[in-house]
A = this chain, B = another copy of it.
Amino acid sequence: MLKAGRPQEEMRRHNLGALLRQVHLGGPISRAELAERMGLNRSTIMALTAELTSAGLVREELPKENGKAGRPSLVVRPESERVYVLAFDVRVDRLVAARVGLGGTILDRREAVRARAGADLDDVVGVLAEFGRQMDGGASPGSVCVGVGAAYCGMIRPGDGTVRFGPNMGWVDQAFGAELGVRLGLGLPVSVGNEAHLGALAEHERGVGIGHRNLVYLHGDVGVGGGIIVGGKLLDGDGGYGCELGHMIVNPYDGRPCGCGSRGCLEAEVGEQALFDAAGRSGLMGREGVRAVVDAAEGGDVVAREALHRIGDWLGIGVANLINLFNPGLVIFGGMLREIYRGSAAQIHDRVAANVLVISRERVRLRTAALGDDATLVGGAELAFSKVLANPLEVLAEATADPVAGEREALTRTTS
C-alpha cells in the first residue's frame, strides 16, 4: 500500500540504492549508460552520483582513451577499498571467511579445513570471529565495514540467524548469528542464510543466472540443498525454510536412509556417500573424493562410470520434477554437483527429455555454477551488502559513526 507521506524522499533513497546496485553488480559504468539502464535523465544521474561520491561510496573517473572524439562520459566506480563487508561460509568440511569490497572484489580471505564431526558452536564461531577480526584489522585506515553475512549448511531462522537444523554438524537451535556478532565485536548484526539459498542469489546476481527471472540452483555439499528464484526473488516460504529440494522423495521403494530421518530423498540418492557406495570407494571423502570418481569414470573405470550413471538418473528425476514445477529458464548445478554433472550430464538430459512436459522444457538450459566453490561465500557477501544497497547514505553514516557513541544513543532511545 502506498502511503501519502514523502514520496520524493523515498524515490531519492530508492534511486540512490538502485544506482549503487548498478555499480556494485555491474562494475565501472558511464553516467550515460546509467541514465539509459535506469530510465532517468542525465542531470538526475549526476545529482545521485554526486551524493554517493561525497559519501565515499563511489568515485568518478575519466575513462581510458577510447579513440572517439568528443568529451567522454565520466565512469562511476565502486569504492571497493573503502567500503567492504565481512562474509563467512560454514561448509561441512571447511570454514571460509573473506573481506569483500563494494563491487564484489575479494580483498582478503582465510580458510580452515576441519574434521567433519564434533565441531560445536563455540569452535566454529571462535575460528570465524578470529578470521573476521584479523581481516577487519588489516583494512586500510578510513575504510568502513557496512555489513556481515554468513552462509551455513543448514536451516536458518531468517530473523536472528539461528541454526534451526544443521544435520551434517549435529546442530539444533544454535544461536549462530547472534554469537558470531558478539564475538566479532564490530557493533554490527550478522545476517545468516542457508548456503544453497545464498548460492542461488550469488549465481543470480553475479554468475550464470544473471538476467534470469526464474532459476533453480541445486547445491551439493555432503547433502543436497537448493535455492530457487521465482519471479526474480528467492523462494523462502512462510518460515524461510523453502527450497529443500534435497528432501524431495525420488525413490519411494528401496530408498537409502537420509540424514533427515526419511528414506529415498534426493540427497540420500545423489549425495556424496551414495556416489562412493555405488562406486565401491569407501575410503573417499569430500569434493576431492567426488572428483576422483568422476576422473576415474572419464579414464574408463567401468564401476565409476556406472555409479555416475545411477546417480545421474536419480538426479535427473529430481531435476525433471523441478522443471515441471518451476518452468525455469535455467537449472544450475553447484558445489560438488558440478562434478556430478560433468560425469552424468547425459543421464540428466535423458530424464529431462523423458519426464518434463515438452512445453515446460522448450527454453530451459542446464549449467554449472559460474562462481564455482565461491558461490555460497559470494552469496554471504551479497547478503551483507543488502542493507547498504537498500539505503546507502544512512547505512554508511551509521557504520562510519563512533560505534560506542552509537550504542549509547541506542541505549538512550530504548530506555527513554
Contact = CB atoms under 8 A, between A and B. Distances in A.
Contacts of A241: 327, 357, 359-360
Interface string A32-46: 000000111100100
B239 A363 contact: yes
A363 B326 contact: no
B359 A327 contact: no
A168 to B, nearest CB: 14
Nearest to A213: B238
Interface in A332-384: 354-360, 362-364
Interface string A209-251: 0001110000000000010101101011111111111011111
A317 B253 CA distance: 12
A214 B231 contact: no
A348 to B, nearest CB: 14
A105 interface: no
Contacts of A238: 212-214, 327-329, 363-364
A223 B117 CA distance: 47
A15 interface: yes
A18 B4 CA distance: 14
Interface string A1-43: 1111001100100110010000000000000000000111100
Given A251-B252, A252-B250, A252-B251, A233 B235 contact: no
B239 A40 contact: no
A324 interface: yes
Contacts of A354: 262
B165 A358 contact: yes
Nearest to A314: B252
Interface residues of A, number: 66
Given A40-B3, A251-B252, A244 B355 contact: no
Contacts of A236: 231, 327
A293 interface: no
A188 interface: no
A244 B357 contact: yes
A299 B228 CA distance: 45
A239 B327 contact: yes
Nearest to A265: B355
A155 interface: yes
Contact of A165 (B41, B245, B321, B357): B357
A397 interface: no
B1 A249 contact: no
A5 B230 CA distance: 29
Contacts of A355: 247, 249, 262, 265
A248 B318 CA distance: 9
Contacts of A329: 238
A321 B248 contact: yes
A327 B242 contact: yes
A63 to B, nearest CB: 24
A249 B320 contact: yes
Interface in A153-167: 155, 164-165
16 contacts: A2-B11, A4-B40, A4-B44, A155-B359, A214-B242, A226-B325, A230-B237, A238-B328, A238-B329, A239-B362, A244-B324, A244-B327, A244-B357, A244-B360, A247-B356, A262-B354
Interface of A: 1-4, 7-8, 11, 14-15, 18, 38-41, 44, 155, 164-165, 212-214, 226, 228, 230-231, 233, 235-245, 247-253, 260, 262, 265, 317, 320-321, 324-329, 354-360, 362-364
- 8 A-B pairs with least C-beta separation: A237-B327, A242-B327, A244-B324, A241-B327, A248-B321, A247-B324, A238-B329, A262-B355
